[in-house]
């Protein structure tokens, strides 16, 4: 990942009648980043992606993709992005190879180049053995991979993927994760919108959170996680002594809040590592049999919930 900004939006705004779908969104995405675009249903994720892909005209504002303004050069922007919508169709009457051949011709690739590109795309999405199969016979996961292969045909630097894991079984989602990692390693810049936040955890470098059309937070993943809540999250497991532990935690000044969960106690702590050590010492001195004490990294889900529902304990 570099510092070069490949994609930038400037107060992107889109209205449908009286409804504001996206409200003055400004964000920057550096080259090589994998951005997790998260938000509840109706947050404006699809509208935002479509505007960036120059499929939808913004009501106000603009964006630049690889230096091209989406308002002034929408057709040129299309050559820089590969867009996978959340709901899409394929030409079921064609075979896998024929489908990619069609798009290869549409992207004006020469015969030899087409052959190489199609072979490469099919290999990348693990569909090389299915090239002579009719699309209508493919499983949901294979259709998804074929649709992703289509986005790679013209070798775009930016991929915009709207809910790519929706409707896939766990194995399909797992395969997709590997594919996204491979694409990121190959130098592509990805923006992936998803509800399955835990799966984005492993490969995203940036997070953007939308709520009711407003960009609530965006930036490098660690930065966004830190900004979502003050202090650290400590996981504590004990062998009994629940009441005594609760009393210690209530008395501790640097404990902001705590809750008892299935995996143990989760404590929001505003101190540093030395303060953590003091707390542990207090617990042990108080007769608590501590079986586990460690800092827990905030997940995207924690960040998402903390920012969208700040009053949730």
Partner 1 sequence: MTSLTRFPDLYRYLRSEANPTRLIAGFVTTNLICLSSLAAMSQVKDPWGSLFRTVMGLQLILLLTYGVLRTTTSILQERSNRTWDFQRLTPLTSFEITFGKLLGAPIFAYFLFLVMMPWAVLATSYSTRTPWLALWQAYRLPLSLVFLCLNLGLLFSAHSLGNRQGRSAISFVTVAALWTGLPILISVIFGGIHGSNHWLAKETLSFYGLSVSVQRFATLSSLIFGGWAFAGARWRIGEDLLEGRRFWRFPAFLLFLAWYLFGIEGGAGLFKQPQPRPIITLGYVTFFVYVAAFLWGERTDYWRRWLRLTSSRMNNTPVWVAGYATLLAVAGLLLLIGPRSRVLVLLPVFCGRDLLFLQWCRFTRSQRAEMMAFIYLVLAYVLPPMLLAPFKLSALVCLYSPIPVGGAGGISLLQNLLPGLLEAGVMAGITFRRLRQTVT
* Spatial distance between the Cα atoms of 90 and 313, rounded to a whole number of angstroms: 45
Phi, psi of 34 (to 5 degrees): -120, 110
Please choose, out of 50-58, 215-223, 274-282, 283-291, the segment that lies near partner 1 by the rule CB under 8 A.
50-58
Query: Running DSSP on this structure, what letter comes out for residue 230?
Result: S
Nearest CA among 189, 185, 247, 263 for reference residue 3: 189
Closer of 99 and 269 to partner 1 (Cβ): 99
- Both tokens assigned to 107: 């992207």
Strands (E), the chain: 5-16, 19-25, 28-30, 34-38, 60-65, 68-69, 81-84, 158-162, 189-193, 206-211, 214-220, 232-238, 255-261, 264-269, 290-296
Q: Does 157 bind partner 1 (CB under 8 A)?
A: no
Among 37, 43, 54, 197, binds partner 1 (CB under 8 A): 54
Helix and strand counts by DSSP (H, E) for the chain: 11, 15
Site for partner 1 in 137-156 (CB under 8 A): 150
3-state secondary structure of 234: strand
Phi, psi of 268 (to 5 degrees): -90, 120
Closer of 98 and 296 to partner 1 (Cβ): 98
Q: Does 103 bind partner 1 (CB under 8 A)?
A: yes
Q: Does 105 bind partner 1 (CB under 8 A)?
A: yes
Size of the residue set binding partner 1 (CB under 8 A): 34
Closer of 109 and 249 to partner 1 (Cβ): 109
Closer of 74 and 231 to partner 1 (Cβ): 74
CB of 101 to partner 1, least distance (A): 7
Please choose, out of 4-12, 83-91, 115-123, 288-296, the segment that lies near partner 1 by the rule CB under 8 A.
83-91
- Both tokens assigned to 152: 């790679």
Q: Does 18 bind partner 1 (CB under 8 A)?
A: yes
Give residues in contact with partner 1 (CB under 8 A).
15-18, 53-55, 57, 59-60, 74-75, 78-79, 81, 83, 85, 87-91, 93-95, 98, 101-103, 105-108, 150
């Amino acid at each position: 990942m570099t510092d070069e900004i490949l994609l930038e939006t400037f107060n992107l705004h889109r209205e449908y009648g009286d409804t504001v779908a996206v409200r003055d969104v400004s964000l920057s995405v550096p080259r090589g980043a994998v951005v997790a675009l998260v938000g509840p249903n109706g947050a404006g994720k699809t509208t935002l992606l479509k505007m960036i892909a120059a499929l939808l005209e913004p009501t106000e504002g603009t964006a630049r993709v690889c230096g091209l303004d989406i308002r002034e050069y929408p057709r040129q922007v299309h050559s820089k992005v590969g867009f996978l919508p959340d709901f899409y169709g394929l030409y079921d009457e064609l075979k896998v190879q024929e489908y990619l051949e069609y798009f290869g011709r549409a992207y004006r690739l020469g015969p030899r180049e087409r052959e190489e590109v199609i072979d490469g795309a099919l290999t990348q999405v693990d569909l090389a053995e299915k090239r002579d199969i009719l699309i209508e016979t493919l499983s949901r996961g294979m259709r998804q991979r074929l649709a992703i292969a289509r986005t790679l045909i013209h070798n775009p630097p930016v991929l915009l993927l709207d809910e790519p894991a929706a409707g896939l079984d766990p194995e399909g989602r797992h395969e997709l994760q590997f594919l996204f990692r491979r694409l990121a390693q190959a130098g592509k810049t990805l923006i992936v919108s998803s509800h399955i936040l835990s799966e984005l955890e492993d490969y995203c470098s940036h997070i953007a959170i939308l709520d009711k059309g407003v960009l609530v937070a965006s930036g490098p993943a660690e930065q966004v996680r830190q900004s979502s809540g003050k202090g650290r999250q400590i996981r504590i497991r004990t062998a009994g002594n629940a009441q005594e532990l609760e009393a210690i935690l209530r008395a501790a000044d640097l404990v902001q809040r705590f809750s008892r969960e299935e995996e143990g106690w989760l404590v929001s702590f505003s101190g540093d590592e030395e303060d953590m050590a003091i707390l542990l010492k207090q617990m042990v001195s108080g007769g608590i049999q501590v079986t586990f004490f460690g800092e827990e990294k905030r997940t995207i889900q924690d960040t998402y919930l903390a920012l969208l529902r700040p009053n949730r304990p």
